Amino acid sequence: MPSRRVTIRDVARAAGVSTTTVSEALSGQGRIAVETRERVRRVAEEIGYVASAAARSLRLGRSGALGLYVPDRTVGFEYYVQLSRGAAEAALTHGMALTLVPAWDNVEQLRALHIDGLIVADPAVGDPVLEVLRSLPVPMVTVEVDLSPGAQPAGVVASDHVSATGELLDHVVATGAGSIAVLAPGEETSFGRQIRAVCRRYAGIRVVDIPLAYRPEDATGAVDAALAAGADALVLVPDGSAIVALHHLQGRGIRVPDDLLLASYVDGPSLQIARPRITAVDIDPRGTGEAAVRALVDIVVHSRRDVVETRVPSRLHVRESTRA
């Protein structure tokens, strides 16, 4: 027969304190001595006590879940998969679950979400779902700055895209490329706006439009437009679009890097095993997801009131695709 489950009363009896003290010690709540808190936690571990997430959430008046909203049509994009993974792992370390919030058109169902806080990845101006999510009575942390008028998130986690884009473009310019085309999303997101602002600093760099949540035909069409304008180097910004571009170029008989240089702003596993391997910027999506959860936990659990701002470092990886 299975052994009896250890309860909070067992911990209280073993530690010689009340069940209220045990509850406060294990939840980090209440005003009890540090020595008592540590002793209760040590006893709980020794006798194998595992707190019930449901009971804890009920006691604290919280759902025990955080929401994550990502742009529409990005399911399967490597960046958002890694961001979601980092967020889910970080949530579990804090005893919380992560709920993926889709681009849903049922307003009432969105407003009925039972979550303690929300993470929004790449908020875009004019997103109708985001308008509904902002009305929820829970704190919001955005991954990148929300450019919408009046947006007041409780926290922001972002990369320095200005510096990272400049480093990547400086590298491509240094290869001797004569005509560089940057395939970039619009300025409805902070991500796209920063990258386009950097491109305007370089004479002779052409920006070609491509949606952030692109379809394969969007990427191939943008590549063809850049080639028609005489580009001898392509920098693709949206996650995964450089792989689509590489396959399209190879289908046209264009060799990378012999005939044309190719780089990506967003790095990912597929770029590291492509032939040739593709130069890219690692903006650490997994670390970004973890940072977003930490910021939200600070607000939800620890009642932090000031706006939490976190900067995620990035790193340029130079590979064969830009070695002329």
How distant, in Å, are the alpha carbons of 37, 39, 296, 304 from that of 33?
6, 10, 27, 22
Higher pLDDT, 76 or 189: 189
Domains 65-159+285-313 and 161-282+316-322 share a fold: yes
Residues in CB range of 98: below 8 A, 6 or more apart: 65, 66, 67, 68, 84, 87, 88, 91, 92, 293
Give the pLDDT confidence score for residue 72 in this predicted structure.
Answer: 85
Separation between Cα atoms, residue 232 and residue 77, nearest integer Å: 27
Contact 190, 202 (CB under 8 A): no
Whether the upstream peptide bond of residue 137 has omega within 30° of 0, thus cis, is: no
CATH superfamily of this structure's domain 8-51: lambda repressor-like DNA-binding domains (1.10.260.40)
User: For the segment 144-174, what is each residue's pLDDT rounded down to a tens digit?
Assistant: 999 999 999 999 999 999 999 999 999 999 9
Fold of 65-159+285-313: Rossmann fold (3.40.50)
Three-state secondary structure along 56-88?
Answer: HHHHHCCCCEEEEECCCCCCCCHHHHHHHHHHH
* Run of H or E including 42: helix 34-46
Residues in CB range of 84: below 8 A, 6 or more apart: 68, 70, 98, 100, 289
Every domain of the chain and the residues it spans? 8-51, 65-159+285-313, 161-282+316-322
- Is residue 54 pLDDT above 50, yes or no? no
Query: What is the pLDDT confidence band of residue 49, given thresholds at 50, 70 and 90?
Result: confident
User: For the segment 269-314, what is each residue's pLDDT rounded down to a tens digit?
Assistant: 999 999 999 999 999 999 999 999 999 999 998 788 888 899 999 9
pTM, 2 dp:
0.80
CA-nearest of 297, 267, 284, 289 to 142 is: 289
Give the pLDDT confidence score for residue 45 in this predicted structure.
Answer: 84
Query: What is the pLDDT confidence band of residue 2, given thresholds at 50, 70 and 90?
Result: very low
User: For the segment 91-116, what is each residue's pLDDT rounded down to a tens digit?
Assistant: 998 889 999 998 887 878 888 888 99
Separation between Cα atoms, residue 237 and residue 165, nearest integer Å: 10
Amino acid at residue number 28: G
CA-nearest of 179, 234, 220 to 202 is: 179
Q: Is CATH 3.40.50.300 what the domain over 161-282+316-322 is classified as, yes or no? A: no
